[in-house]
Structure formats: structure tokens, C-alpha cells
Structure 1
Amino acid sequence: MECKKDRNLTNCNCSYPGCDNKGICCDCLIYHLASRQLPACCFPDDVERTYDRSFKAFAKAWKL
């Protein structure tokens, strides 16, 4: 499967400056799930900027 990094970057809201996985969704997802987190794209922009990618932050952001 071909990576669509350029297309993915148009929708990627990751604000972490040193992110090596920006636009590479499969690697990003693997990285965050291994850390028991969710990637930036699962969060509204204001919550994403806190860098708290926990499941708890996700539930709070979406009021689940």
C-alpha cells in the first residue's frame, strides 16, 4: 500500500514540532496505541495542543 503522506498532512492537526510520524497515519497510530494514547486527529485542536493524548482526555473532550 502506498502512503498518502502529502494528502494526510492536509488533515493532520498534530502540533508537536518534532513529530516524525506527521502525515504517516499508520505509524502514528501504532506509536500512540503502544503508549495507551490516541493520535492528535482524534482531538479538537484546543485539546490537541495540550499534548494530553490519553483516553481520559479523549472522553473529556468529547464529553463521553
Structure 2
Amino acid sequence: MECQKEKNLERCNCTYPSCSKKGMCCECLHYHLKNRQLPACCFPPEIEKTYDRSFETFAKLVLEKKI
């Protein structure tokens, strides 16, 4: 499968300035899962900006019905 980086960038909401994985969803997902995190696209903008992409934060947001 060929990466569609340009198309992926249209919907990538990662705000980390020096992210080398922007638009490369497979690499992004692999990186974050290895670190017990989810990628930016799983979080609302106000949470994504904090860079806390932990499983725990995601679970908390689900329980609070914010996701």
C-alpha cells in the first residue's frame, strides 16, 4: 500500500511543530501505540494541544462523554 501523505495531511490535526510523522498515519500510530498513547486525531483540539495523548487521558474523556 502506498502512503497518501498529502491527502492525510488535509485531515491531520497534530500541532506538534517538529513532528516527522505528520501525514504518515502508519508510522504515527505505530509510534504512539508503542508509547501507550493514541495519535492526535483521536483527541479534540483543546486536549490535543496539551500533547497528553495517553490511554488514560483518552479513557477519562470517554467516561466524561467528551469523545
* Number of aligned residue pairs: 64
Match of 1:15 in 2: 15
RMSD: 1.1
5+ residue gaps, structure 2, are none
Matched residues in 2 for 1:56 and 1:28: separation? 19
Structure 1 residues 21-60: aligned runs within 5 Å: 21-60=21-60
Q: Displacement of 1:56 after TM fit?
A: 1.1
Structure number with greater CO (CA < 8 Å, separation at least 6) is 1
TM-score w.r.t. the length of structure 2 is 0.89
Q: Deviations over 1:33-61 (max 9, x none)?
A: 00010000000011000000001111222
5+ residue gaps, structure 1, are none
TM-score w.r.t. the length of structure 1 is 0.93
Matched residues in 1 for 2:42 and 2:22: separation? 14
Matched residues in 1 for 2:50 and 2:34: separation? 20
Percent of residue pairs identical: 62
